[in-house]
Amino acid sequence: MYPDLPSAFVAEASTLLILLAGAVLLYRSFREKYLVPWIIGWIIYTASKLFLTISLSYSSDTIWAILANSSFAIAAGLFSIAVFYYVHQPKLVRPAILVIGLAVLLGITQAKWAAHAISLSWAFWVCWRLITVMACVQLAMFARGRGIVGSWLLSLMLLFVHMDVGANSHAVAEYDFVIDLLLGISMMMIVLDDSRVQVSRAEVLNRLSRIVANSDEFQPIVESTLDELLRGTRARGAWFRTLGEDGKLRLSAVNGMPDSFVEYSSEVDNATSITRELLSAGEVGILPVPAIQADRSRQLQHLGINHIVLIPVLGKSSQIGMLVLGLRRHRNYTENDRAFLKAAANQLGLAAENRRLLQQLVYSRNEWASTFSSIPDYILVHDSQYRILRANRALLDRLKRPYANVVMQSCESVLPGGGRHWTTCPYCDPAALVAEYDPCFGGYSVVSTSAYSGQDSAGGTVHVIKDVTDIRTAEERYKGLFDHMHEGVFVSSPDGKILDCNEAFVRMFGYSNKDELLQLDAAAMLYVNMEDRRKFQEQMAEQGFVRSFEYELRRKDGKQITVVESSFATRNSSGAIERYQGVMLDVTEQKRVEDEIRRRNRELYALNSIAVTFNQSFNLDEILQLTLFQIVELFSTDTAGIYLFDEATQSLRRVAGHGHRSEWIAKTEVFPVPSDFIETIKNQHVEILAHRDIGAMPEIIRRYVEEENLTSWIWMVLWRKDKILGILGTSSRVPREFSASDESVMIAVGRQLATTIDRIHLYEETRKAYEDLRRTQEQLLQSEKMSAVGQLVSGVAHELNNPLTAIIGYTQLLENEKSEQQIHEYTQKLNKQAQRAHKIVQNLLSFARQQKPQRIHVDLRNVIEETIGLRDYELKAHKIRVERDFQQGLPSVMADPHQLEQVFLNIINNSTDAILERPAGGVLQIKITAENGNVMTEFHDSGPGISDPKRVFDPFYTTKGIGKGTGLGLSICYGIVKEHGGEITAQNHPAGGAVVRVRLPVAVGQKPVTEEERIAARRETKLTGKVLLVESKEATLGFEREVLEAAGLQAVVLNSRHNSIEKLQQEGFDMVVLDSQLAGVCTCEDILRWMRSSQAYLIAKTILVVADIAEPGMDVLKHAPNVLCLVKPYGVSDLLGVVRRVLRTAKAATAK
């Protein structure tokens, strides 16, 4: 059907087979991995040509078309896989296989289904063409910058590879064999070029190896390496940087680069560049120029460099530097490329390592020579003929000869003593070294001999002579020190055996000789507490030594001693402890002394603390408590107590205690002590009572000991001169023995405490005396104030009494007059109020004046009313209501009304102050009753009550603020009531408030008839006579004249403007009524003095009218001591009563 097709196939097939044979031959020669898929693909490609030819001849049979399509797709894929292996992209093999499989499926489908031949053909073509295009792209990228013609030709031919689908499928069908020929030749060119490159690189490495082997200098090797790499890689330039100790890469060799590059890039910091990572990883790095530092990047771009290759140069154990290649064009680097560059760098690294080893060898040789010369021991090397080959500096200095005069000379001629005591070598003959005595230099030496085999001699000998004279001397001194030390020196094993010790160690434990101690199991026999042994071994295991390790051991006689050990551990080669070596010191006595000193210091501290407290505080409770705490801490006891002795009751009172458990002791504060026991203590002046004295102690003290379960104690009797103040004691519930030192400390504390107690008592008495003095001064000040008030009251009362006398007198006169009922009532009310004012003035005068008490029959109801009258205004002003409950027919009492008034006034004042502590007023209930021969007056207020009823009657006790009370009021009341034979009590009422009760005995006998009653009985009797009225106040003068004239007397009236003496001289009078405050022409004193000197009988007929009997002007009575007095204000009956009395007295005198 196609006559030309078979002949063309035969020609093409022949070409393919020839090329296949060439590929097989190349594989046998070079064994390249990528040739395997290429050869297989070439075979399948040849088969696809055959199948295609047959399918075109027998188009009816689709099997050939299927085989042609499948084989061609597989061949194209194998060609691509060969390319992938060649360009070192094995990761693309798997995707290529998948695409090949898809292409095979599409080829089979296209051959079987002709109806869809066009679309399937295109899909089939796209699949296999995709593979070949990928191979072309990878091959072109790989060949870029390499100058390999075969790679570019293969890439081009892969694009021309195709599969014919008909006889005239394209215009160049007759040139298919040319495409196949060039495709096969291009692969052969690649193989041959690759082989050439490998051979060239091997030659480069061989040349580098020869250079490294034949050169001792490192710099020429570096320059040769740069030159070879520059030619082999066609790079623009190459340079080498050496890594310094400071971490910087310094430029050491350059090839192909200008001088400006050398100046500008002489140093690179390895810590901040990529070179550090590459040196650490040992891998080749490719770095594009734009990725380099900006200024250096511009310089390299100016030189036409596209990228640089960084090749780390490493030694066996160090980093040497970095080889750098600068290339103009981009290229991909295969593993072979990188391996070649690393191999070249390894040659350079090997050269650097060799140089380092050579330097070390030279250094070691010099070190050995220096060490040999610096060894202080004598080193002598001689041959078998006893000729000296070597001698170190120490031996030459001892011989005092230069090196040239010693080497190759005989030992006999060089060493001292030769020819006399020996002839060959004195150190080769063991018999010559007796007791380490040196036969040449004298003294002692230790000789170490060994064979010597060197370049200059065989069968020689090396002698190392160590002078041990000083060591032997030191050993002897150490042995003497070891044996004569006072401290115990020992060597022991970890299992507790003592390996060696000195005599002091033997004596420390009380053994007779060292052998006896060495046979003991020290760990079991000497240690008191095995815990100390465990701690010792732990510290040794952790630290390898112990310093000042203190613990207790046991002597041979069983006595325990305290030791301090300082030792260290010696270990074997495996690190295990072999033995302990150290020094041990017996500090038993030192510990005892230190404990005694600490105890003394503690005692002194306690005594000092107690003394400081005693001197700084006057609070006895605080001092006693602190003393107890110090005593308990000082003696480490369980209980302590302080008891003060009461001489009157012969008892001890606990004032401070600590640590007591007994309920009986806790509840009992006072312990009675037999008087005979006290007398015994006083007679013997006992200071210390201890448990040894229990037999002589009274029963109550033995019970005290049993209740507290005490086993030992020390009690100190507190003395102040010959007086017992009390007992200071401390006790323990566990058995112990108090030493004489403890007793001395207890005595010192007790004496200090006794002095302090006495001082505090004296201080309290002084303070109390001072307080009493201060309060007495306050009382005196208050008395002065009251005296001033009394004077003021007297003056006011005098001024008030004059108008009151007139008011009372005239109201009484009005009452006797016949008048209207309403006027009569008004007159009575006026008289009542005037009488009230009179009582108030009289009460003020009675309270203010100082006068002797007068016991008379007193009705307490009247006294209470008069007292309430004094406080009536204040009570009403503060809304305090007074409730009275007075028993009818109340008997009188014998008392001074003025003193009782003072008592009741104080009680009412206190109740008022208590009620005022609460707002909104209150109530004061006053109750007077007679019971059991007494009259009881009870005051109950609605205040808060009494804070301390037991102390309410103590002098100077007050709960009021400063300036509001002196604390003397109720104390004075208590004294007044007691003087009257009564009783006063104060307590709090269950319903609230305070209750004060005053009980006074009922008066015995009938109440006497008063003067007023007698005057009232004679009131209606008519009077006769002439009366002279001398008054300074007109109102009083008019009242007196009205009353006397109404009574029947003739009244002559004079005031202060008249001369009363002249009137008396001119006329005769039966009576004279004289004002004590008269002033003017004649005073009261002038008139009385004249009467006494001229008409003495008139004094008995004179009535002196006074404002107050205690007024200061009453000294006029010294001129008329028998004159009668009438106190203002007074009423009609008062005036008439006194007048009748005077007239009656005068009449009686005339009758005689």
* Domain shared by 337 and 242, yes or no: yes
Q: How far is CA 276 from CA 134, 283, 310, 311, in A?
A: 37, 11, 11, 12
Structural domain includes residue 808: no
Q: What is the dihedral of CA 612, 616, 621, 626, to 10 degrees?
A: -20
Structural domain includes residue 780: no
Distance CA 815, CA 824 (A): 6
Distance CA 771, CA 930 (A): 41
* pLDDT: which is higher, 8 or 104: 104
**Phi/psi of residue 242, nearest 5 degrees:** -95, 135
Distance CA 23, CA 21 (A): 5
Q: For residue 108, give the nearest of 146, 152, 55 by alpha carbon.
A: 55
Q: How many CA atoms lie within 13 A of 108 on its CB side?
A: 7
pLDDT band at 442 (very low <50, low <70, confident <90, very high): confident
Predicted pLDDT at 756: 79
Instruction: Give the domain extent around 141.
Output: 4-197
* Domain shared by 308 and 390, yes or no: no
- Give the β-pairing of 1050-1054 and 307-314: unpaired
* Domain shared by 599 and 464, yes or no: no
Burial of 762 (0-12, 13-18, 19+ CB in 10 A): exposed
Q: Which amino acid is at 410?
A: S
Mean pLDDT of 630-640: 82
Predicted pLDDT at 1011: 45
With a CB cutoff of 8 Å and minimum separation 6, the contacts of 1057 are 1080, 1081
Distance CA 700, CA 670 (A): 11
Predicted pLDDT at 955: 65
Give the count of beta carbons closer than 10 Å to the beta carbon of residue 854: 10
Predicted pLDDT at 967: 59
Distance CA 411, CA 284 (A): 64
From 756, 771, 786, give the residue that closes a domain.
Answer: 771
**Phi/psi of residue 716, nearest 5 degrees:** -115, 125
Distance CA 539, CA 551 (A): 14
Find how far residue 705's CA is from the centre of its chain. 45
* Domain shared by 68 and 161, yes or no: yes
Distance CA 761, CA 785 (A): 35
**DSSP secondary structure string, 746-767?**
HHHHHHHHHHHHHHHHHHHHHH
Structural domain includes residue 1068: yes
3-state secondary structure 651-674: EEEEEEEECCCCHHHHHCCEEECC
Question: Number of structural domains, the chain?
Answer: 7
* Domain shared by 685 and 765, yes or no: yes
DSSP state of 1002: B
> What is residue 986's three-state secondary structure?
strand
* Domain shared by 1019 and 964, yes or no: no
Distance CA 738, CA 736 (A): 7
Distance CA 76, CA 37 (A): 10
Residues 584 and 487: beta-carbon distance below 8 Å: yes
From 147, 182, 197, give the residue that closes a domain.
Answer: 197
* Domain shared by 599 and 580, yes or no: no
Largest Cα–Cα distance in the chain?
A: 219
Distance CA 111, CA 996 (A): 144
Q: At what angle do helices 740-816 and 821-848 cross, to 10 degrees?
A: 150
Tokens of 481: 């020190």
Place of tokens 């008395």: 783
Tokens of 25: 């031959």
Residues 150 and 193: beta-carbon distance below 8 Å: yes
Strand partners, 1002: 893
Structural domain includes residue 787: no
Strand partners, 237: 326
* Domain shared by 890 and 966, yes or no: yes
Q: At what angle do helices 4-30 and 176-214 cross, to 10 degrees?
A: 10
Q: Does pLDDT of 672 surpass 50?
A: yes
Mean pLDDT of 274-302: 77
Proportion of the chain above pLDDT 90, given as a percent: 3
* Domain shared by 387 and 258, yes or no: no
ω into 1129 cis (within 30 of 0): yes
Q: How many CA atoms lie within 13 A of 1068 on its CB side?
A: 3
> What is residue 1025's three-state secondary structure?
coil
Mean pLDDT of 772-784: 71
Q: What's the pLDDT tens digit per position in 373-397?
A: 778 888 888 888 888 888 888 888 8
Residues 142 and 87: beta-carbon distance below 8 Å: yes
Q: Does pLDDT of 850 surpass 50?
A: no
Q: What is the dihedral of CA 626, 628, 634, 638, to 10 degrees?
A: -140
Q: How many helices (H) and strands (E) does the chain have?
A: 36, 33
pTM for this one? 0.36
Q: What are the start-end ranges of the E strands in 1034-1128?
A: 1050-1054, 1071-1075, 1102-1106, 1124-1127
Q: Which amino acid is at 332?
A: N
Strand partners, 583: 489, 566
* Domain shared by 879 and 994, yes or no: yes
Predicted pLDDT at 3: 44
Residues 286 and 344: beta-carbon distance below 8 Å: no
With a CB cutoff of 8 Å and minimum separation 6, the contacts of 223 are 253, 255
User: CATH number for the domain including 542?
Assistant: 3.30.450.20
Tokens of 664: 């009986």
From 739, 771, 803, give the residue that closes a domain.
Answer: 771
**DSSP secondary structure string, 288-357?**
EGGGS-HHHHHHHHHTT--EEEEEEEE-SSSEEEEEEEEESS-----HHHHHHHHHHHHHHHHHHHHHHH
pLDDT band at 1014 (very low <50, low <70, confident <90, very high): very low
Q: What's the pLDDT tens digit per position in 1114-1150?
A: 555 555 566 778 777 777 777 787 888 888 777 776 6
Termini Cα distance of the chain: 218
Distance CA 1083, CA 668 (A): 79
Q: What's the pLDDT tens digit per position in 950-1008?
A: 777 776 667 665 545 655 667 778 888 888 889 989 898 888 888 999 999 988 755 55
Mean pLDDT of 238-247: 80
pLDDT band at 937 (very low <50, low <70, confident <90, very high): very high
Residues 579 and 494: beta-carbon distance below 8 Å: yes
pLDDT band at 168 (very low <50, low <70, confident <90, very high): very low
* Domain shared by 581 and 602, yes or no: no
Q: Does pLDDT of 653 surpass 50?
A: yes
User: CATH number for the domain including 661?
Assistant: 3.30.450.40
Residues 545 and 524: beta-carbon distance below 8 Å: no
**Phi/psi of residue 742, nearest 5 degrees:** -60, -40
Q: What is the mean pLDDT of the chain?
A: 78
Proportion of the chain above pLDDT 70, given as a percent: 84
* pLDDT: which is higher, 640 or 1021: 640
| ∠ Cα 639 643 647 (to 5°) | 160
Q: For residue 1052, give the nearest of 1076, 1032, 1026 by alpha carbon.
A: 1026
Structural domain includes residue 927: yes
Tokens of 584: 């041990």
Q: What's the pLDDT tens digit per position in 802-836?
A: 787 778 777 777 777 777 777 777 777 787 777 76
Distance CA 997, CA 1003 (A): 19
Distance CA 1108, CA 144 (A): 152
Structural domain includes residue 797: no
Distance CA 114, CA 100 (A): 22
Residues 900 and 860: beta-carbon distance below 8 Å: yes
Q: Does pLDDT of 2 surpass 60?
A: no
3-state secondary structure 438-498: CCCCCCEEEEEEEEECCCCCCCEEEEEEEECHHHHHHHHHHHHHHHHCCCEEEEECCCCEE
Q: What's the pLDDT tens digit per position in 27-64?
A: 777 777 878 888 888 888 887 877 777 777 776 677 88
Q: At what angle do helices 35-57 and 176-214 cross, to 10 degrees?
A: 170
- Give the β-pairing of 1071-1075 and 1102-1106: parallel
Structural domain includes residue 492: no
Residues 1055 and 1037: beta-carbon distance below 8 Å: yes
Q: What are the start-end ranges of the E strands in 948-1031?
A: 983-988, 994-1001, 1026-1030
Distance CA 629, CA 644 (A): 18
Give the count of beta carbons closer than 10 Å to the beta carbon of residue 731: 24
Residues 730 and 632: beta-carbon distance below 8 Å: yes
Structural domain includes residue 801: no
* Domain shared by 580 and 598, yes or no: no
Q: For residue 627, give the nearest of 548, 745, 786, 538 by alpha carbon.
A: 745
Place of tokens 């008519």: 1022
